[in-house]
């Protein structure tokens, strides 16, 4: 009788089970940072040991304790008391948390590229349960971090942990790991081959990692790209530096973790490419008297305090170079906002900056199930010829047009309850976009029912400057043309009114009982 195969647990599942055992001694929101720093330490050690063995095999054993022979191969040199073997030998000691803090400090001090990347005196202040922490170290010790060099290990684990904490921490935190297939789509559409790339809310650095993978896949040169970013949360800022460091991606994430609006770390930056996933519908992002005359809004009205969506848009516009292109995500409500948002949107369209609006399927994110929009902005939509990765590309004049793409029915199942784009779909979508942009025998674009439509500014003006794709793309089922965001707002208002009426009825009933002498 054949033995029943037991499904091997993924790295993420194994780590979650071990980290979850720390419940009670560590806040849920801290688990991911505890685990990821340790994975980084293990990964750095595995690379160090691999390089050390290479030196021995090459007959260079005399140089195994010289950092330069590791750094030359983009490997971090690790001193003896920072090595994983030393950590595991002391894993069950009372002072293991202090030893890990010291190990991380030594690693950072001996490798300048890690400056500001690793936690300082972090573990010793957590009050970890020694036995449970030792069990977690045992699980991490089992992981072969070099088994799949092409996989984004830190990003994968980070995404998995965000999904697990979405309910515990609440979905309103605005911290979303951008799924890989969405980042790949953005990269394929804006093609960041050469120049400065910027992410104003870079999270754990996933946009940069996938950008470099795009360049490698298209046989470009990673040295032609400079990375600039900013992140508000200190622990996530360190994760981003860690994530980039292990891949040898030089970066400028600013001097510190900081709020992009109130402490811009790249005030004079003009980027060739911007990729971003800002917090959706961020409330109270500035006080009424703050940032009213900020230079980033120059030429536009000051974005409203009630929602940061248009603050993010104008921050991105202000950072684009003369030929800069941006691809970023926003909640669908930004497509049809009224008042100041409408005025800013009209101005962006009249300035010929909006190039494409792409509505994505629901259930693509671990931490929210809403459908979101990919905006493509372009500072230069004129007819031009551009050299890209060794090829001369002719672009049409699309100044007075915007391409709308509806992908709500696209994607394939992923981990049962999620949706992702296949590589074939990403290629098809990007090719269609580039065919719309470019001239040539092979670049034939056509409007397609229920998929895409190239709208003129005149058409958009007639629609009240709305950027909702279903207002332009023809659908066989006319119900699809419902403005779902507007309808949702109507239903929310109706619900608020009903709740208000219910509260008023309760108060009236309470007053009546008190009149009758009953105390409630």
Residue extents of the structural domains in the chain: 11-149, 173-479, 483-520
Spatial CA neighbour of 107 closest among 65, 84, 74, 78: 78
Token code pair at residue 331: 């909640």
Give me the pLDDT at residue 214, please: 87
Model pLDDT, residue 367: 66
Which of these, 32, 1, 40, lies nearest to 16 by C-alpha position?
32
What are 335's two structure tokens? 């497509």
CA distance 201 to 205: 9
| Cβ partners under 8 Å of residue 202, min gap 6 | 208, 229, 230, 231, 240, 253, 276
Residue at token pair 């994430």: 253
DSSP state letter for 255: S
In eight-state DSSP terms, residue 304 is: P
> Could you give the C-alpha distances from 505 to 280, 491, 509, in angstroms and in order?
35, 21, 6
Cβ within 8 Å of residue 455, ≥6 positions away = 401, 402, 403, 404, 472
Instruction: pLDDT tens for the chain, 520 residues: list them.
Output: 454 455 566 777 777 777 777 766 666 667 777 888 888 899 899 999 999 999 999 999 999 999 999 988 888 999 999 999 999 999 999 999 999 999 999 999 988 888 888 888 888 888 888 888 888 899 889 888 777 666 566 667 766 776 666 545 544 444 556 888 999 999 999 999 899 999 999 988 888 988 888 888 888 888 889 999 999 988 889 888 988 887 778 899 999 999 999 999 999 999 999 999 998 889 989 998 899 999 999 999 999 999 999 999 999 999 999 999 999 999 999 999 899 999 999 999 999 999 999 999 998 886 677 789 999 999 999 999 988 877 888 999 999 999 999 999 999 988 777 889 999 999 999 999 999 999 876 778 999 999 999 999 999 999 999 999 999 998 876 554 455 555 555 555 566 566 666 666 777 777 766 666 665 5
Q: Where are the beta strands (DSSP E) in 366-483?
A: 372-378, 384-388, 391-395, 401-406, 412-414, 418-420, 452-456
Query: Contact at 8 Å (CB) between 230 and 200?
Result: yes
d(CA 145, CA 152): 10
Predicted pLDDT of residue 491: 58
Helix pair angle (153-169, 206-217), 10° resolution: 150
Q: What is the largest CA-CA distance in the chain?
A: 97
Cα-Cα end-to-end distance for the chain? 70
In this structure, how many other beta carbons lie within 10 angstroms of the beta carbon of residue 172?
Answer: 12
Tell me if 237 sits within 8 A of 231, measured CB to CB.
yes
Instruction: Name the residue among 224, 200, 213 with its Cα closest to residue 275.
Output: 200
Residues 6+ apart with CB under 8 A from 163: 366, 367
DSSP single-letter state for residue 302: P
Give Cα 373 distance to the centre of its chain: 14
- Map tokens 């709208």 to a residue: 455
Q: Give, in order, the Cα–Cα distances in Å from 110 to each of 114, 255, 505, 506.
A: 9, 19, 68, 66
Closest CA to 197 of 156, 164, 244, 153: 244
- Residue pair 77/67 in contact (Cβ under 8 Å)? The answer is yes
Nearest-5° angle of CA 326, CA 329, CA 332? 130
Sequence-distant (6+) residues with CB within 8 A of 34 are 19, 22, 26, 123, 126, 136
Map residue 390 onto helix, strand or coil. coil
Q: Are 410 and 469 in contact (CB under 8 A)?
A: no
Q: Which residues contact 302 (CB under 8 A, 6 or more apart)?
A: 291, 292, 293, 294, 340
> Model-level pTM?
0.82
Q: Residue 378's beta-bridge partner residues?
A: 325
The CATH number of the domain covering residues in 11-149: 1.20.1260.30
For 438, half-sphere exposure in the C-beta direction (CA atoms, 13 angstrom radius) is 19
- Homologous superfamily of domain range 173-479: Vaccinia Virus protein VP39 (3.40.50.150)
The Cα 249–Cα 238 span in angstroms is 14
């Amino acid at each position: 009788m054949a033995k029943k195969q037991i499904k091997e647990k993924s790295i993420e599942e194994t780590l979650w089970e071990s980290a979850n055992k720390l419940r009670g001694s560590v806040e849920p929101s801290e688990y991911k940072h505890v685990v990821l720093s340790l994975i980084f330490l293990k990964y750095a050690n595995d690379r160090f040991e691999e390089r050390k063995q290479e030196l021995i095999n090459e007959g260079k054993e005399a140089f195994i304790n010289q950092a330069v022979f590791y750094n030359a191969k983009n490997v971090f040199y690790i001193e003896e008391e920072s090595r994983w073997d030393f950590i595991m030998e002391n894993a069950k000691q009372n002072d293991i948390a202090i030893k890990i803090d010291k190990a991380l400090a030594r690693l950072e001090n001996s490798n300048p590229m890690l400056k500001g990347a690793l936690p300082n005196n972090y573990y010793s202040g957590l009050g970890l349960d020694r036995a449970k922490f030792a069990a977690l170290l045992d699980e991490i010790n089992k992981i072969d971090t070099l088994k799949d060099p092409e996989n984004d290990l830190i990003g994968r684990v980070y995404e998995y942990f965000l999904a697990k904490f979405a309910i515990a921490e609440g979905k309103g935190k605005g911290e979303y790991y951008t799924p890989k297939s969405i980042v790949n789509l953005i990269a394929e559409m804006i093609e960041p081959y050469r120049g400065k790339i910027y992410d104003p809310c870079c999270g754990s650095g996933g946009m940069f990692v996938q950008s470099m993978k795009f360049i490698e896949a298209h046989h470009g040169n990673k040295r032609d790209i400079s990375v600039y970013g900013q992140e508000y949360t200190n622990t996530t800022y360190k994760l981003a530096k860690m994530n980039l460091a292990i891949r040898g991606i030089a970066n400028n994430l600013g001097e510190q973790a900081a709020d992009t609006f109130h402490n811009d770390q790249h005030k004079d930056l003009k980027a060739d490419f911007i990729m971003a996933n800002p917090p959706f519908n961020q409330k109270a992002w500035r006080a009424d008297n703050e940032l009213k005359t900020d230079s980033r809004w120059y030429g536009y009205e000051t974005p409203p305090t009630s929602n940061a969506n248009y603050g993010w848009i104008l921050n991105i516009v202000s950072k684009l170079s003369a030929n800069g292109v941006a691809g970023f995500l926003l909640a669908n409500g930004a497509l049809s906002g009224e008042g100041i948002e409408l005025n800013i949107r009209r101005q962006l369209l009249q300035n010929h900056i909006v190039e494409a609006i792409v509505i994505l399927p629901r259930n693509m994110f671990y931490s929210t199930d809403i459908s979101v929009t990919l905006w493509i902005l372009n500072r230069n939509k004129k007819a031009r010829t551009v050299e890209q990765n060794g090829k001369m590309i002719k672009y049409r004049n699309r100044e007075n047009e915007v391409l709308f793409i509806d992908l709500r029915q696209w994607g394939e199942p992923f981990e049962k309850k999620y949706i992702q784009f296949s590589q074939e779909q990403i290629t098809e979508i990007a090719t269609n976009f580039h065919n719309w942009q470019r001239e040539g025998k092979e670049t034939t674009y056509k409007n397609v029912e229920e998929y895409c439509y190239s709208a003129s500014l005149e058409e958009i003006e007639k629609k009240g400057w709305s950027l909702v794709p279903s207002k332009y793309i023809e659908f066989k089922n006319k119900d699809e043309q419902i403005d779902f965001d507007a309808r949702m707002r109507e239903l929310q208002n109706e619900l608020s009114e009903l709740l208000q009426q219910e509260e008023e009825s309760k108060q009236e009933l309470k007053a009546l009982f008190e009149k009758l002498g009953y105390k409630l």
